[in-house]
Every structure is written in C-alpha cells, then in structure tokens.
Amino acid sequence: MGRAFDYVILGGGVAAGYAALEFVRRNGGASSQELCIISDEHFAPYERPALSKGYLLPQDAPRLPAFHTCVGSKDELLTEEWYNEHGIVLVLGTRVISADVRRKTLLTSSGEIISYKTLIVATGARAVKLEEFGVSGSDARNVCYLRNVEDADKLVGVMRSCPGGNAVVVGGGYIGMECAAALVTNNIKVTMVFPEKHCMGRLFTPKIAEFYESYYASRGVTFVKEAAVTSMQISAGKVTAVILGDGRRLPADMVVVGVGARANTGLFDGQLVMENGGIKVNGRMQASDASVYAVGDVAAFPVKLFGGDVRRLEHVDCARRTARHAVAAMLDATGSVGDIDYLPFFYSRVFSLSWQFYGDNAGEAVHFGDLAPPDGGAAAPKFGAYWVRDGRVAGAFLEGGSRQEYEAVASAVRRGAAVADVAELERRGLAFATQA
C-alpha cells in the first residue's frame, strides 16, 4: 500500500506548521496529492515553546488547540480543520521508520510507503537521556523530560502529585531554567544540578548568570554547580533521591531532566551530507540531494552574517524562518529567491523576567545597565551585554527591554555597528543602540 505526493513534510512541529502556511500563501492552497505532513505526534503542529511556559502555569494554563502554529508569531491559528480546508493531508500519530532518498520514498510504522517529488525534513530534535551519561532511571514514574505534549502532561501530573515537595532539576540550560521557574510557581522546592560553573553556560556571561542565579535564589531555588549526577535511588518505580559524584544525596519527589538535545537525523545517515550534528543545507535550505530540503532544529545552514559559517540553531524563530525560506525556494519558478539572510534570535521568559539575544556571543562581552542582584523582584530589571568582535557588535543580549529597545539592539547586531572605543560603548550602554 502507498500514497504519492508532490511535496512531503517529514515531521509535524513548529517548522512544519510555518512551512504549511507559507505553502498555502504562495500556492493558494494545495490540491489533493500535493502536500502531506507526516508526524509521530497526535496533534497538528503547535508552538513548542508554550510547553515550558504557559502550559505549566498553576492556573488558566493554555491547552491545544489554543497554541497551534502560527499564533506564536501573531499569525493564523492552524487547527486540523485548517489543514483539511486547504487540502493538506495530515498523517498524524505515524512514525517514519526509514527513508530512501534515491527512490524518494518513506516507510511508515504502519507499513505504508509514501513517495514524494520533494521532501522537507523537519524532524527537529530529541531530548538527550540520562542513560547517555551512564545514569539509569529515565523511565521512573516521576522522572520528566520535556519535548512534546505527552511529556508536558506527564510533568504537570507529577508536579500536581507532590504539592510542596522537592524537585531536582538536572541541567542548567533552557529546559532547566524554564522548568525550575515553573516548578517554583507551582509551589515545588527546586534544587538545580549542573556540571558548569554557572547556568546557561553557552550563552550567559558569568555576570549575566549571576543575576539570574540570584533572582532564582530569591525565589527559593538552590543551585548545586559543577556537580554530576551519578545515579538515582529508585523505590517502587519512583526516584526517591538523586546521588551526585561526591556522594551527596538530594531527596526528590520528582526529577526534571534537561541535558540537551540531538537533531533527529538518523533516517538520513549515509544518504545526505551532515555537519554540526544536522543535515547540511545551502542558503536555499537544500540538502546535498536537490530533492530534499531541511529546516528547523535539524538543519545546518550558512549564516551570512557570520561570513557563511554553517550553524545549527535549536530555536523557534529559526524554525519559523528557515521553514518559510525553504518553501519560498522550493516553489520559486523564476529563480528570484536567494540565500537566506538570517539574524540568529533566541529568547526566554521566566517568572516576570524576559530576555532576548541576537547574533553571536563571540568576542569581548561589554555589559550595561544594572546587573546588581535583584531586590526580591520589586523593580523590573533592565540590563544587557554587547559582544564586540573585530571592532563591531557581533551579538547583543537584553533583559527587560521594550519592543523598540529590542529592535534597536537587533539592528545594531544586524548592521555590525562599529565600536571605536569599548569603554565608550560601556558608558553609553543601551543608548548606543537606541540613539544610533
């Protein structure tokens, strides 16, 4: 048995939703057998960032269909009906188990062969498991990862089963920071454990990290830094304590693990060229086989702003924009769509804090604003940093900015604003960008 489509999007996450919208806008909808999305999730594409934020709120937490794509960029809400109305075939709850790039076919877990003329790979990433570090216990009833709605439902259920209890959060990256904040808001006591000297080690400077760690501490979070989890004590299918390398024992009613992600490239190993752990594509998001495009977390693409350096970015804005660009390139009959010119953009929201980052955190970091540890959260903090490389602004971080201020720092990065004197940049701070 089998079906054939002109275009198949493999994966039904953020990038798939934005690709579908772009397809409909450019193509005026899809005729039957034209476009199909295959996803192993049971829902139409949704805005994944909601899972570590609104979804975990103690009250009025949004649930699907409220956060299907593309509401995250204030665009249309693409419900299952939307796909039906626009002639797009959604194949949900179906895993693709093998791909044959030469034959242009995909084999699904239900034994169906789906063939395509053009494929968009949007398989995203998966959570790294503790087992990959030699620690067992991931399948315990109170150990939570967070990648999809199913994970989020488990996390909510476990959190509600131990009000006032102890959570150990393993990992000091995005998941760790956002989940720790959500747990505290749900009246759970949190201890964060991670191997680095400070949280968000790959993005934050020590000074920026110090601010957030102080803020979290003021909300009751305990940090155990430069520490490794070596095992978990399990009783009746539940973790009761997390054991560290130095023998310390952290009692736990629940554990949340956020120790990184790996791009889902396995179906294409040996068939497409890979780089930086992802599928290598050109500026039109086209892989080493011209009938395949890759977008979102799985794509390693050249960033013009960084001199064409090939990067793989695991962030939602990148998924949205690379998806749209791939569809524009794929449907481009006149050759008018050029290479993507992307300004990397990441953000996070925790408690009442909110930050944005643009560009590359490479070069010398120059801080501005009031980075003093918070006074219990009374005043809204505003501070940030520029990264200066070769006399130009390469990256910028801003906490607590207004829309205009975020746009101004983004613009400083985009144009590579010249910095003649670092001390002067430090003195002018945010005004360097806003009064340029």
C-alpha 217/C-alpha 45 separation (Å) is 36
Contact call for residue 319 and ligand FAD (CB under 6 A):
yes
Q: Which does 38 bind (CB under 5 to 8 A by kind): ligand NDP, ligand FAD, none?
A: ligand FAD
- Relative to beta strand 364-369, strand 383-389 is antiparallel
Beta carbon nearer to ligand NDP, 45 or 429: 45
Specify the residue, 299 or 394, whose C-beta has the smaller distance to ligand FAD. Answer: 299
Per-residue x/- track, 191-210, ligand NDP (CB under 6 A): ---xxx----xx--------
Tokens of 195: 């191997």
CB of 49 to ligand NDP, least distance (A): 6
The smaller minimum CB distance to ligand NDP, of residues 178 and 360, is found at 178
Q: Which of 69, 123, 142, 205 binds ligand FAD (CB under 6 A)?
A: 123
Could you say whether residue 172 binds ligand NDP (CB under 6 A)?
yes
Among 7, 8, 48, 381, binds ligand FAD (CB under 6 A): 48
Binds ligand NDP by CB under 6 A, chosen from 69, 142, 348, 361: 348
Binding mask 117-136 for ligand NDP (x = CB under 6 A): --------x-------x---
Contacting ligand NDP within 222-261 (CB under 6 A): 228-229, 258-261
Using CB under 6 A as the binding rule, whether residue 178 contacts ligand NDP is answered as yes
Q: Which of 173, 283, 344, 384 binds ligand NDP (CB under 6 A)?
A: 173
Is residue 399 a contact residue for ligand FAD (CB under 6 A)? no
At residue 142, what are phi and psi to the nearest 5 degrees?
Answer: -115, 20
Rule CB under 6 A: say whether 52 interacts with ligand FAD: yes
Q: Is residue 425 close enough to count as binding ligand NDP by CB under 6 A? A: no
| 82-111 binders of ligand FAD (CB under 6 A) | 95-96
Give me the 334-353 binding string for ligand FAD, x by CB under 6 A, dash otherwise: ------------xxx-----
Min separation Cβ 365 and ligand FAD, Å: 21
Nearest to 47 by CA among 354, 322, 317: 317
Closest distance between ligand NDP and the C-beta of residue 139, in Å? 17
Taking the complex as a whole, how short is the minimal distance between the CB of residue 345 and ligand FAD, in angstroms?
7
For the bound state, the minimum distance from the C-beta of residue 45 to ligand FAD, rounded and expressed in Å, comes to 7
Per CB under 6 A, 49 contacts ligand FAD: yes
- Mapping DSSP onto H, E and C, the string for the chain reads CEEEEEEEEECCCHHHHHHHHHHHHHHCCCCCCCEEEECCCCCCCECHHHHHCHHHCCCCCCCCCCCECCHHHCCCCCCHHHHHHCCCEEECCCCEEEEECCCCEEEECCCCEEEEEEEEECCCEEECCHHHHCCCCCCCCCEECCCCHHHHHHHHHHHHHCCCCEEEEECCCHHHHHHHHHHHHCCCEEEEECCCCCCCCCCCCHHHHHHHHHHHHHCCCEEECCCCEEEEEEECCEEEEEEECCCCEEECCEEEECCCEEECCHHHCCCCCEECCEEECCCCCECCCCCEEECHHHEEEEEHHHCCEEECCCCHHHHHHHHHHHHHHHCCCCCCCCCCCCCCEEEEEECCEEEEEEECCCCEEEEEECCCCCCCCCCCCCEEEEEEECCEEEEEEEECCCHHHHHHHHHHHHCCCECCCHHHHHHHCHHHHHCC
- Which residues of the shown chain bind ligand FAD in the complex (CB under 6 A)? 11-16, 38-41, 48-49, 51-52, 95-96, 122-125, 146-147, 264, 267, 296-298, 314-317, 319, 346-348
- Which residues of the shown chain bind ligand NDP in the complex (CB under 6 A)? 52, 125, 133, 170-176, 178, 194-196, 201-202, 228-229, 258-261, 314-315, 346, 348
